[in-house]
């Protein structure tokens, strides 16, 4: 592959945001012409029934000519959400009185973390460490 072809795939500058089962990758890359653009990739971990896992990825390519409008709309949307609903997360999993044993499944657990198996009749859970299996 030519140097120019390699340059297209090269990451110039990268940042990673880990957010639970989701990970966001922000990568500055170079075009064949040597200009820069941004890719934003969302990667989400899913656990199969057999215990193996896979990732689903979604990618956005953002070019310089769209930066100003993209930033403007993103700021407008995030400001709207904060103004309307505040910055506290509203969901079953984030409520103050939420009990872990009522909700968690093995799908919510990252590799190497503790797994919680719920028992419907007692509401209790068993602490299982994947490294012990």
Give the global pTM: 0.58
- Inside any domain, residue 31: yes
- Clarify whether residues 98 and 62 are in a common domain: no
- Inside any domain, residue 72: no
- Inside any domain, residue 94: yes
- Inside any domain, residue 83: no
Domain count, the chain: 2
Query: Which CATH number fits the domain that encloses residue 22?
Result: 3.10.450.700
pLDDT in tens, the chain (133 residues): 455 444 446 679 999 999 988 999 999 999 999 999 999 999 998 888 998 988 899 999 999 999 999 999 999 999 999 999 998 888 766 555 555 454 444 444 444 443 333 333 334 344 444 444 4
- Clarify whether residues 61 and 94 are in a common domain: no
- Clarify whether residues 48 and 98 are in a common domain: no
What is the per-residue DSSP string for the chain?
--HHHHHHH-EEEEEEEEETTEEEEEEEEE-TTS-EEEEEEEEEEEE-TTS-EEEEEEEEEEEGGGHHHHHHHHHHHHHHHHHHH-SS--SGGGSTT--GGGT--GGGPPTTSEEEEE-TTT--EEEEEGGG-
- Which domain does 10 fall in, by range? 1-66
């Amino acid at each position: 592959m030519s140097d120019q072809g390699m340059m297209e795939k090269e990451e110039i500058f990268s940042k990673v945001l880990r957010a639970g089962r989701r990970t966001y990758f922000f990568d500055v890359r170079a075009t064949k012409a040597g200009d820069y653009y941004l890719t934003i990739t969302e990667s989400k971990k899913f656990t199969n029934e057999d215990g193996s896992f896979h990732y689903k990825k979604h990618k956005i390519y953002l070019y310089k000519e769209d930066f100003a409008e993209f930033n403007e709309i993103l700021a407008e949307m995030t400001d709207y959400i904060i103004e309307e609903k505040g910055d506290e997360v509203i969901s079953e999993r984030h409520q103050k009185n939420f009990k872990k044993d009522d909700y968690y499944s093995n799908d919510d657990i990252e590799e190497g973390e503790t797994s919680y198996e719920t028992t419907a009749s007692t509401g209790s859970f068993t602490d299982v460490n994947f490294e012990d299996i």
